[in-house]
Structure 1
Amino acid sequence: MSFFIIDYIYDPAKDADAVRPVHRAYLRELYAAGSLKAAGPLLGTDPVRALLIVETPDEAAAAALSDADPMVVEGVVMKRSITEWNPVTGVFAQA
């Protein structure tokens, strides 16, 4: 399993607030399943950005989780990047 950072940039023309409740419900499901390790908005960004840290077998699996996110499905995310991450220290570091 590998960690991936998913970086969302939201489209300011879309109503993120309308989608946020179902988005957060989806994130709770991912967390309960063990795939999502952390998520949240990047404060003070314009346009608004958010980060998700997921643990999946590969980048394709990370992309599939993001593809099913209501923020992506509803077109609120106008740009997304997925980057493999190797935490060497801290709570995400693998022994």
Structure 2
Amino acid sequence: MNVYAVTYVYAPGSASARDRVRPAHRDHLQALCAEGAVLVSGPLPATDQEPDGALIVVRAPSATAATELLDTDPFRREGLVAAVGVRAWVPVIGGFAA
């Protein structure tokens, strides 16, 4: 199984909706974590150069499967994610190293 870094860029003006949906979003990711698919996740706070978003590191057989794994995330279902990026990640040191 490969490891992928999935990034979200949140939709502009979605902060209050994300606050409302966050418990379901976290429950969903926690269930995927319990299954071993999500390794770690958390917010990427906005900076002067980048909007706010999230990083979710997952195990999946392909980049397509990594994206599909998160298709049912409540944040995505509710249209709160403006963009999703997926990149293979090859950890060599630390807890996720193969």
After TM superposition, the score normalised by the length of structure 2 is 0.89
- Kept after mapping to 2: 8 A contact 1:11/1:47: no
- Shift of the alpha carbon at 1:50? 0.6
Match of 2:27 among 22, 25, 31: 25
Gap runs ≥5 in structure 1: none
Aligned to 1:8: 8
- C-alpha root-mean-square deviation of aligned residues, in Å? 1.2
SS where residue 67 of structure 1 aligns? coil
Whether 1:56 aligns to 2:39 is no
Aligned to 1:70: 74
- Kept after mapping to 1: 8 A contact 2:45/2:51: no
* Structure-2 separation of matches of 1:44 and 1:9: 10
Gap runs ≥5 in structure 2: none
**Identity %, equivalent residues:** 40
* Structure-2 separation of matches of 1:72 and 1:79: 10
